[in-house]
Amino acid sequence: MAIAIVRLRTHQRMEFPVLDIIYVIAIVAVAAVVLLVAKGVEKL
């Protein structure tokens, strides 16, 4: 991981990772759906 960070810092042409951000949000969103289901189950 340290090697990757060093190499990443020296990499000159980085594009803004729009799709990465969208997919990270999607991961958090599906986890939030599961938590919402759990909240609903508590009321059963």
Q: Which residue, 25, 21, 20, is CA-closest to 33?
A: 25
Q: Cβ-count burial of 32 within 10 angstroms (0-12 exposed, 13-18 middle, 19+ buried)?
A: exposed
Q: In the complex, what is the shortest distance from the CB of residue 28 to other proteins, in angstroms, rounded to a whole number?
A: 7
Tokens of 44: 């059963």
Out of 11, 13, 15, 16, the only residue in the binding site for other proteins (CB under 8 A) is 11
Residue 14 binds to other proteins (criterion: CB under 8 A) = no
**Residues interacting with other proteins, by CB under 8 A?**
1, 3-4, 7-8, 11, 17, 19-20, 22-24, 26-28, 30-31, 33-35, 37-38, 41-42, 44
